[in-house]
A and B are shown apart, each in its own frame.
Chain A
Amino acid sequence: MKNIRRCDGVAKLNGSIKFLDDYKMEDMLYGYLYYAKFDHGKLKGIKYPSGYDLNEFTIVNAQDIPGKNEVPEPECDQPFMAESEVLHFGQIMLGVAHANKDKLKIFCEAIEVEYEELPAITDIDECLDDENNAFGKVLEIDHRRNIKIESHWIKTHHIYRTPHQEHVYMETQGMLAYFKPESRVMNVIGTLQCPFFVKEAVEAIMGDNISDAIVEASEGIGGGFGGKEDFPNVIAGITALLAYKSGKPVKTVLDRADDILITTKRHPSRIEIVSYTDPDSQKIKSLRIDLRLDAGAYQTLSPVVLSRSVLHASGGYSIEDSYIMGRLFRSNTPPNGAFRGFGAPQAIYAIEAHLDRVAAHLNIDPYRLRQNNVLQIGAELPSSQKIREDHLAACLEKVVEISDYQKKNEEFKLWNKTHTDKRGIGLSLGLHGGGYTGNGENMLDSEVRILITADADIAIYVANTDMGQGAYTTLAQMVSEAIDHPISKTKVINPNTGKTPNSGPTVASRTIYIVGNLLRKLALQIKADLQFSDLSAYVKANADDFPLEFRTRFLPDPDIYFDDDTYQGVGYKDFSWAACVVEIYFHADTYEVEIKKCWNVMDVGQTVNPSIAMGQAHGGIIQGLAFGLSEFFYKKGFGRKQGLTDYTMMTSSDMPEIEVEFLYKDSLLPKGLGELPMDFPAPALRNAFYHATGIFIDELPLTPERIFQAMKDRG
């Protein structure tokens, strides 16, 4: 619980830390992923440009794959490279390598593909409105309780939509691979979140041609946000294959335009909600949700995103009777993947937007409706999981207090009567489950390792990478504080599958919550077993015993059970909670929403390093606000975004004021933090817009064009 400085801060500021593109090897080639520029078609042939000596280039396609042409994912339906058919724009057809970066680019731009075009679905609405596009396993959470719908109950029925969102990690995707023929080991260095996923992918594509794949994280990882969970598998696999075929190190770094066009995005959603509310008690009595996600051309990890999405679909409310159905839909767009929140932001957006619809129907304040329905101790989620803490209600009360919500709510209504511009304030709340869903953490079976050297240095070996969230600092801090040893002598070793045990992927807000707590437990155990008060003195006195190694594994809680078929049980052992308020100013002449301020009150349990935790909250909030305000990737009539020029993110001059408060930060358990702040700003923003203008916009983002259209439609 201390604000120590990051271990990598100075090296990142003066530019000395190595990101992937800063790695160089002797004789190194540059790799390129050659991808389809059409949406759907049968491949007829590929023509290389004339005037080049093809022997200078290393080229691989699906036929060159010695192992499996199948990217390892929860659903292994995506090939590394297309065989006879291309199912989406951006699908990779070839890997190409050359010693000269510029020559490689010019050559690849001149490659011609012959194909027979087939019908394609590229529009989100076209994909999600047609049930024939559903594919994969249907997920159902059935909490129907046979209640009688009273005739005076208020029925509210609407459809909520969210678009693609691009991660825009500032460092684009990249991998460096080199093969050692004597040991037959394929070595890979990459900007990635999940070293062991990449290892599996490289082993899948290379098959028996290699004895092992050793995957190492680059020193610096320039942001991830989920984007470096799954796509690194693809780029690592093909880069490894190029290194194997050429016999030389190959480095593939995507330029921004390619990265935006071909990598994963947040799943677009269409979420239809029907609810019945008793106007007397102001309780939502019954809820039906049809939740659809556009998975893209392949399922890949979408079933897991869908799983988290349905488990968060009823938000932070206690509703007696509910039924939630989740389905994936197929389109001819790149597979969508992991993105901070992992299905929860879409689900939370829909239920929070719906709550304000219900409040308007009942003609009551949205705050009052939330107070009446918020999860209390003993309440049941649709999965029948029982709630054990009332921290969400506390978050709600706190955020209403610090934002002065009630006063502004009344003031703005009056102000709006006499002004063309409008002011508004909106609320949202909810929960985010920490760690893998259901039995996921049991299956991951994470292991961590601590090594104490003869110089009393503590080396921490975990597979979790620091993509900016501060993991190397906070994990070291947890161990250093538990053992009571200086942080300067406690370090996380750069993840490398050859040295580090598999403590699982760097995803699902699990790094501090699962891995950190495992490390802390192990550190306390070491201190108790060796019975020292000062580690340095102990090591000095027992020098012959060192280095000493310690390991521990994740211990499943026998009381936690989740049924993967019925979706009943404990989806998440610990939830983090949050409530959010957004205040806006609407410029009537430009149709522009100006965000004045965002308040976010969260319970993430203990904040290990409050200053780093605050930074995570700020970053999540801006990503969440931009999800509501401006970011989308592809839409019919708008086209496909090409780069950072037309993909509109916030800059420092667009930033509203942000106020964050952590409740329960002195508790013993640090819970999930990374994703929570992403979930709530967008719905609060949308609800603020309704408060300001009396117009509900159910589809994100709230661009001036969409607002103009909504106002025109209303007349």
Chain B
Amino acid sequence: MEIKFSLNGNDVIVDVPPMKRLIDVLRDDFGLSGTKEGCGEGECGACSILLNGLPVTSCIMNAVHVIDKKVETVEYLAETELGKLLIDCFDEVNAVQCGFCFPGFVVAAYHYIKEKAEADEQEIKHALSGNICRCTGYVKVIDAVMLTCQRVKERGMR
């Protein structure tokens, strides 16, 4: 089945079985390997992407779900002004450890800051609660998002 959608700012068409998992479409058909499979059941958030601007887990979405919709992956978000700042802040506080879940955190944090940009610890914890990390205990992840919010404000990026 021909699936037409917007991927990272470009209109694309891909011919895949309609029920092919979105994560597999992204990784296998488009070579976008920044989207990671951690659990395959929508629990861990490592495969998070933005679908029409909202974070979803691509391992429990199918190709048909994205027809005529807008998909943005970590590769694209990382190159935006906000994405670059976010990554720099995560890197500055050494929030990353194994890094497998972090593309997912970048997507979730990007969405939070885009929508909210308030350095509110409780809200950040809630916004990131769909992303599981086994290495960091989340402490530095939250620090990094707080720092990004602060810099967004300082730089008048909103």
Contacts and interface: CB of A to CB of B under 8 A. Distances in A.
A26 B119 CA distance: 47
Contacts of A151: none
Interface stretch (A63-71, A140-148, A285-293, A645-653): A645-653
Most chain-A CB neighbours within 10 Å: which of B83, B97, B139?
B97
B50 interface: no
A470 B132 contact: no
Contacts of A618: 136-140
A622 B105 CA distance: 18
Interface stretch (A128-136, A163-171, A342-350, A697-705): A163-171
Interface in A1-50: 3, 5-6, 8-19, 21-22
B94 A468 contact: no
B97 A619 contact: yes
Interface in A631-648: 643-645
A19 B36 contact: yes
Nearest to B124: A652
* Chain B contact patch, size range: 35 or more
A255 B132 CA distance: 17
Interface stretch (B4-12, B41-49, B64-72): B41-49
B33 interface: yes
A655 interface: yes
Nearest to A16: B34
A467 interface: yes
Nearest to B142: A652
Interface in B89-138: 90-103, 106, 124-126, 128-138
Contacts of B133: 170
A170 B134 contact: yes
Interface in A154-184: 167-172
B106 A14 contact: yes
Contacts of A655: 125, 137-139
Contact of B103 (A14, A18, A609): A14
Given A222-B100, A619-B135, 12 more contacts: A8-B96, A11-B99, A13-B96, A13-B99, A14-B74, A14-B103, A171-B100, A222-B101, A468-B99, A611-B93, A652-B124, A653-B125
Nearest to A21: B37
Given A14-B87, A14-B103, A643 B41 contact: yes
B41 A644 contact: yes
Contact of A611 (B73, B78, B94): B94
Given A222-B100, A644-B43, A10 B139 contact: no
B101 A170 contact: yes
Contacts of A467: 98
Given A618-B139, A623-B134, A19 B38 contact: no
Contacts of A658: 137, 139
B41 A256 contact: yes
B13 interface: no
Contact of A621 (B37, B43, B137): B137
By size class, the interface of chain A is 35 or more
Nearest to B140: A615
Contacts of A10: 87, 91
A567 interface: no
A149 interface: no
B94 to A, nearest CB: 4
6 contacts: A13-B96, A15-B106, A170-B135, A467-B98, A619-B134, A652-B126
Given A21-B37, A470-B97, A652 B125 contact: yes
A108 to B, nearest CB: 16
B134 A220 contact: no
9 nearest A-B residue pairs (beta carbon): A15-B34, A12-B99, A468-B98, A222-B100, A618-B137, A468-B97, A622-B137, A14-B78, A644-B43
A221 interface: yes
B98 A223 contact: yes
B41, B83, B100, B132 interface centre (most CB from chain A within 10 Å): B100
A10 B40 CA distance: 25
B39 interface: yes
A469 B106 CA distance: 20
B146 to A, nearest CB: 12
A608 interface: no
A138 interface: no
B38 A644 contact: yes
Contacts of B99: 8-9, 11-13, 17, 220, 222, 468
A599 interface: no
A6 B141 CA distance: 15
A612 interface: yes
A257 interface: yes
B137 A619 contact: yes
A77 to B, nearest CB: 30
A257 B135 contact: no
A621 B36 CA distance: 25
B1 to A, nearest CB: 16
Interface in B14-40: 32-40
Contacts of A257: 40
Contacts of A168: 132, 134
A317 interface: no
Nearest to B93: A611
B106 A653 contact: no
A90 to B, nearest CB: 18
Contact of A468 (B34, B91, B126, B135): B135
A221 B36 CA distance: 13
Contact of B87 (A3, A13, A170, A172): A13
A575 interface: no
Contacts of A622: 137-138
A245 to B, nearest CB: 25
Contact of A644 (B93, B102, B128, B132): B132
B2 to A, nearest CB: 20
A627 interface: no
B134 A225 contact: yes
Contacts of A256: 38-41
Contacts of B101: 170, 222
A181 to B, nearest CB: 29
B56 to A, nearest CB: 17
Contacts of A469: 97
Nearest to B45: A651
A26 to B, nearest CB: 15
A661 to B, nearest CB: 14
A651 B135 contact: no
B106 A13 contact: yes
B157 to A, nearest CB: 18
B147 to A, nearest CB: 13
A189 to B, nearest CB: 15
A348 B26 CA distance: 46
A101 B119 CA distance: 44
A316 to B, nearest CB: 24
A653 B126 contact: yes
Nearest to B90: A13
B119 to A, nearest CB: 15
Nearest to A222: B100
Contacts of B74: 14-15
Given A256-B39, A652-B128, A653-B129, A13 B102 contact: yes
B87 to A, nearest CB: 4
B33 to A, nearest CB: 4
B109 to A, nearest CB: 10
A221 B87 CA distance: 20
